[in-house]
Structure formats: C-alpha cells, structure tokens
Structure 1
Amino acid sequence: MARKERIVELDALRAFAFFAVVYQHVIGVYMRKPGVDEMTAFLYGNLFHLFKFAVPAFVFITGLVLFYNYYDRVNYPGFIRKRFTEIVVPYAIWSLIYMVWRRDVTGWDVSALVSFVKSLVAGTASYHLWFVVMIFQFYLLYPLLLKGFKAAKQHLSGRAAHVLAVAAAAFVYAGLMWVSARYLPAHPFRFDVAWLDAYLITCRDRNFLYYSFYFLMGGMVALALPAFRSFLQQRWPYLLIVFAAAYAYIGYELVRDSGGYMVNLNVATSLKPSMFIYTVAQLLLIYLLAVLVTKRNSRWTALFAMIGRNSYGAYLVHALVLTYVMKGLNLWDVTFSSMFGSVIAFLLCSAASIALSYGLAKLPFGALLVGAAEKKRASAPGQADKQWKQAM
C-alpha cells in the first residue's frame, strides 16, 4: 500500500494544543494563589476559555489521522497492539511514577496493586491523565465507529444531504452537552448499575461519547482535506464572527454562573452547548492558522514537527515539571502571583517538558516512557507547498 502524504499542518495543531494544555494548568495554579483580585481572576478565566480548545483538538486530530490512514482497511489486532504499546504502556509507567511521587503507593502489596489498577482505569493518578483514558476509547472502538460512519455515508447522496447529516449530528451532540451541563446537575438521576452510573454520569468527562463529535469531525475532514482547506480560506471571516460572538457569550456565562465575584473555572467546562459552538468555530480557525504557518518549509515547520513528535511524552510529564517550575518561581517575589509570572511558568514548563520528552525518546527504551517517535518520514522539500496548492 502506497504511503500517504503527511498532513504537515497537524504538527502545528498538536503543538498549539499542547501549549494550550500547559497554560490551562498554569492558570489553575495561579488562580489558587492568595491575593488574586476580581479583575485578574476574570482575565485568567477568559484566557482559560481561549485555551480550552486543547482536548477537543487532540480528539479531532485522532479522528482525522485514523480515518485518513485506516479508512479502507484495519488490521485490528496489529492496530490495537501498536496503540497499546505507544499509548497505554507509557501512560501506565507515568501513572506509577505519579502515584509513587505523591506517596499514594508506599509498598508492593495487593492493596497497592488494586489501587494502581483502579487509578489506571479511572485516570486518577494525576489530574491530567484522565485524557489518556478517554482518548484510548476511540482506538478501542475505532472499527465500530468506522463501520457506522461508512453506513451513514452510503445512505447520503448530494451536498444537501451531507450538510443535513452534519447538522443533525451537531444537534444531537448539543443535546448531549445540555444533558451534561444542565440536566444532570439539577436532577438526581442515577443508574442502578454502579459501573454504568460511573461511566455515563459520574465520570462523563472521560467518556468518549462526550467528545465524539470532534472525532467524527476529524473523520469528515480526513476524507476531504483539499476542499476543507479551501473552505477555511474562503469562509474564515464568518467563522471569526461566530467565534467572537460565542467567546463573548461564554465570558458572560463565566461571570453569571460563578456564583460570586471570584471566577470559578469549573464553569468553563467543554461539556456544555455554548462551549461546543465556540470550540468548533475556534478549531476551524486554529486549523487554518496551522495550515498558514506550515505552508512553506521553514524553521517553524521543522520546530512544529519536533514538538508534534514529542507532544505525547511532554503531555505525560508536564504536570510533574510544572510542580518543580512553580517551586522555583515561588522563590522569586516578582513572579509570585502576577500575570507575568504565569507566562514565565508556561514558557519554562513547556520548554522543559518538550526537552525532557525529546531526551527520554533517545534512550534505548525511550518509547516505553514517551511513546514511539513518529515513524513517518519528514515531508520532502516542497511537499508542504503541494499540500497547500491542493486547496487552491
């Protein structure tokens, strides 16, 4: 089977998403510092919204890559074995590292093993590891998702039918977001079966269903990349208007729903209808930005490629790195609680996490710690230009 052309803009999109994750977590640290006034809290809250696209972007990328590379045929045993080695094994190792570091595991007995397994399944070894539990569900279920996608596609003919299908999927997903953000918190609805209740209600933030639209959105893009790039280039002013209007509205929600003068970042969840509309518009604009910054082979293209290859390992280690970055910065009064301090923390944490992931990947068994380095060859000279011209 011929090797498909690399989608070079995904390197930039991965980098943007990783940086957004890091700054969200930096904001979380600085919001908990004493002495944060109302105006600073509101500014942090709006910056938090601005970087909230990260998880949906990673889900979107996953859907795009899987549909692009495995649409015609999937050898499931080999497919899942590769993902288990590249995703689950590093995740398990770092889960153990975080648990030992936090002293959640202090011995090697049956109770420690049970605690470790529970943390693996729930993604609770560290505050950021829930994402791995959620994203791996898409890999496990990909053949079923692909089959459903193909079945729906076969029954659609013409552009109008495709638009209506996408609109219907968006409507259903927005309804699910309403159930998550409005209905469930206000009603004591629970399933009698404990695991079902945990999966669908209590831990819905790590349930693949609650991020499924972004995955299928990536699948749709994968089948029409040149047309998609062209659409973004032509329609970006309209997308910008939708994005600006949605950004203003979720900012209003942030103040309204915080319940007091101090901003509550829990209000800024991705699992609500307004954030769904906002995130889709933002993802489209950021994808266009990724295309623009990688449309010429340059140092930026090479830098984004390096960050993209090491983004998973950097994601796994960045929570630990951030802890020590903050310990260092807290010794400097000038950066203790200021906005400037959060920017410095973000830059240091991002750079150190990427460097650590890059260094660990060079070790003989580095793939077990940070995932396998990207095996696809780098784009040949002029390939990024060729991809861009396809959209013209």
Structure 2
Amino acid sequence: MLGRCVSFARQVSMTDASSPPSATDTAAASDRLSAIDVFRGLTILEVVGHHASGMALRHATPGSLTHDALTILNRSLHFAVPAFVFLSCVVLTNSLLRRFNPGQYYWRRLTRGGWPYLLWSVLYILWYVWTGQRDAASLEDPQRWWTWLAYGKGSYHLYFLLVALEVYLVLPLLLPLARRRPSVSVALLAGLAAQIGAYFLNKEVLHLQFPASTAFWYVLPITLGVAVGARFGEFEDWWRRRRVILLPLLAAAYALYLPVALAYVRGERVTPLIYSTLSWTFTALVALALMGLAHRLQRGPDRVRVAVATLGTVSLQIYLLHPAVLQALELWRAPLGPPALMLAQVVIYALVALLVPAILGRALLRTRLSTWVFGR
C-alpha cells in the first residue's frame, strides 16, 4: 500500500507512492515537503473518507436521504488505488530514468513492498478471526489462505499492496517507452484504449478470477504515470495549459460515471464494459487533477501544505492501520441514532482512524521497528 525527500522537481528517491520520506521537524518539513507528499496526503484523506462512509452506509436506513448521500459520497471517493498506482509509476519512472540498478531495485521493492504485504495480510487474517468477523476454522483451510495471499484478500484494502508489487515488477520493462518521453495527452488516450483491450483480453482469454487485484486492471494509470514521470518537470506547465479541457472533461466523466456506479452498488443490472470504462476514465482524470492540485497547494499557505503533506509522509502507515481502527470503533459502538448524530460519530471515527496511525507512524519513523513493520 505506501529516505528523505527534497523537492521532487529536483530529486526523486527510489520509493513507491506509499513509502513517503519524512522530515524531522515542522520547520524543516516546510522546506522539504514536495508536491508528491501533498498528492499522497490528499489521496490518503480520500481513502479514510471512502472507508468511513462505507462504514456509515452499513448503519444508515436504505432509501433514506442520508443513505443516498453517503452512497454518492462513497462512490465519488472510489479512486484511491488507481491514484496510488499512478503516483507509484510517476515516482519510480522519474527515478529509474536517472539510474537503474536491477539488483538494488528489485531487492528494495521486495523488502519495502513484499514483506509488508505478507506481514499485514497475516495480521489482518488473524485480526478478522480475533474480532469474530471470520470463523476460526477458516485458518485451517489451505484454499482460503491461497485466496487471501494470492489475491490480496486478507483484508479489503490489502489488494493495493499486491497490485503495487506487480507494478514494481513490470515497470522496468516500460523504461524504453519512458525514455521516448511520451506525450501525457497521448498517454491518456492510448492508455484508455490499451485498458479496454486488456478488458477484452481478460474476458475472452485470461478469465482472471479477481482482475481488479492485478496490475492488469490498471493499464491506464500505469501508462499515464510513466508519461508524467518521464516529463515531471514539465507537468505543471502542461496542466496549466490543459486544465481548461481536462477539468470539464472530468466533470463530464463524473456525471456519466456516478449514475452507473450507483446502479452497480444497488445491485441493478449494468453493462460491465461501460461501468469499467467510465470508472477508468473518471479515476485517471482525478489522478491528473490531484497532481495539478498538489502543485497548486505546494505554492499555497504553508499551514495547509504542511498539514496535508505531513499526512502524505505517513500515508502507508495510515493506509495499513486505519481499517482496523475503524472496525474496532464500530465494534465498540456502532454509529447509530438520528442522522446528524450518526454522521457526527462517523466523522469523529474517521478523524481517529486518520490521526492515530499518523501519529504512530511519525513517532516510529527512522526506527528499526518501523522498518520491520512497515518496510521503511
């Protein structure tokens, strides 16, 4: 899921999107925190909001205004994994274009990505049994273990770490493309076409059991991330010129995506290709818009920038821990009662699930325990 960072335009360390660097104090952080940290911070806020709204939906009355509003919010915030995949490709492409040492690269990806995935999969499998969310007998079933570990199903959020591992594996193969510095606009269109091609390849040939748990389902954000990473120094100017087209396009994609997404959630019949294509388009445009916003915030007020970017420096820690915090709070006292009271409780739970892992992650930064538990 997510070294020390200086301004990304000057230097990008060989880290993935969920392994942000850290600052030692607020003043130093203000100088070093980059647009990439801001992007991570914005995206991890979305992750917690998405999962907190999902928790609230379990306790809202179906058909009520509150339930409908929460469903709209939940589906609107359903873009974190494509955004993090996009950012991983941006960061690593920029780094690998400067220096690629295969042995070092794959070892770091294994220790920073593979080990945390295995560790947290086991921890969450045990957590679900301990909290009564799964039968203890499931631990004796080898097929369940295979499903949990091979498809990122140890917990609902861990598939991102599995997808990231696959992205790390294939990204060096895309370096010849990155060296040609493809146009971001062309990458957006070509990536969408390739993504639709991947959809049909899976439908007719591969028949993957859980395609969304594989990098195969993220061809578009991978392609887009490689193009942006190859031209990162030009991205801000590119976004400034193209946003007059891309922001209305994002609004149109959202307007088309949302009704189909709501129908899907309600169990109504939808055309899989239409739903997937609209989702891919919407999430890719959101990723670009978030990168544009991150650059804008980078030049904004220090208080806002540092707050969001500091969350970004512990985005992996928040990503890994927040589901357990939300579940523990829900098991302790489910958000019930009148809509206003329930929503206030959900907001408080979301803040706790955000801040407790953030504080813990910051406290453990640069310690041996952090390396063992989070991979960095």
Q: Deviations over 1:62-101 (max 9, x none)?
A: 0011111111432112111112212222222222211222
From 267, 273, 290, give the equivalent of 2:277.
Answer: 273
Contact 2:86–2:225 (Cα < 8 Å) also in 1 = yes
Check if 1:209 corresponds to 2:209.
no
From 295, 299, 302, give the equivalent of 1:295.
Answer: 299
TM-score, normalised to structure 1, is 0.75
Q: In the TM superposition, what are the counterparts of 1:306-325 in structure 2 within 5 Å?
A: 306-325=310-329
Structure 2 residue runs without a partner (length 5+): 1-5, 13-33
Partner of 1:172: 194
User: Secondary structure in 2 aligned to 1:366?
Assistant: helix
Check if 1:365 corresponds to 2:369.
yes
Q: In the TM superposition, what are the counterparts of 1:165-204 in structure 2 within 5 Å?
A: 167-177=189-199, 184=203, 197=207, 201-204=208-211
Distance 1:303 1:232 in 2: 24
Q: CA deviation at 1:106?
A: 6.2
Contact 1:24–1:51 (Cα < 8 Å) also in 2 = yes
Partner of 1:376: none
Structure 1 residue runs without a partner (length 5+): 373-392
Check if 1:248 corresponds to 2:274.
no
Q: In the TM superposition, what are the counterparts of 1:1-392 in structure 2 within 5 Å?
A: 5-6=10-11, 8-33=34-59, 35-103=61-129, 116=145, 119-150=148-179, 153=180, 167-177=189-199, 184=203, 197=207, 201-257=208-264, 262=266, 272-295=276-299, 298-330=302-334, 333=337, 338-361=342-365, 363-372=367-376
Q: CA deviation at 1:18?
A: 1.1
Number of equivalenced pairs: 343
User: Secondary structure in 2 aligned to 1:11?
Assistant: helix
User: Secondary structure in 2 aligned to 1:52?
Assistant: coil
Runs of 4+ in structure 1 over 4 Å off: 104-107, 111-118, 162-166, 177-180, 255-258, 266-271, 334-337
Distance 2:340 2:324 in 1: 19
User: Residues 114 and 178 of structure 1: is their aligned pair in 2 closer, same or farther, counting only changes over 3 Å?
Assistant: closer
The alignment-based identity, stated in percent, is: 23
User: Residues 40 and 139 of structure 1: is their aligned pair in 2 closer, same or farther, counting only changes over 3 Å?
Assistant: same
User: Residues 362 and 222 of structure 1: is their aligned pair in 2 closer, same or farther, counting only changes over 3 Å?
Assistant: closer
Q: CA deviation at 1:175?
A: 4.2
Q: Deviations over 1:330-376 (max 9, x none)?
A: 2774579744333333222111222232334465322111231xxxx
Distance 1:268 1:337 in 2: 37
User: Secondary structure in 2 aligned to 1:141?
Assistant: helix
Match of 1:145, as an amino acid?
L
Match of 1:85, as an amino acid?
T
User: Residues 357 and 117 of structure 1: is their aligned pair in 2 closer, same or farther, counting only changes over 3 Å?
Assistant: farther
Distance 1:10 1:270 in 2: 32
Partner of 1:384: none
Match of 2:41, as an amino acid?
A
Contact 2:178–2:230 (Cα < 8 Å) also in 1 = no
Q: CA deviation at 1:177?
A: 4.7
Q: CA deviation at 1:13?
A: 0.8
Contact 2:37–2:312 (Cα < 8 Å) also in 1 = yes
Q: Which has the larger radius of gyration?
A: 1
User: Residues 301 and 175 of structure 1: is their aligned pair in 2 closer, same or farther, counting only changes over 3 Å?
Assistant: same
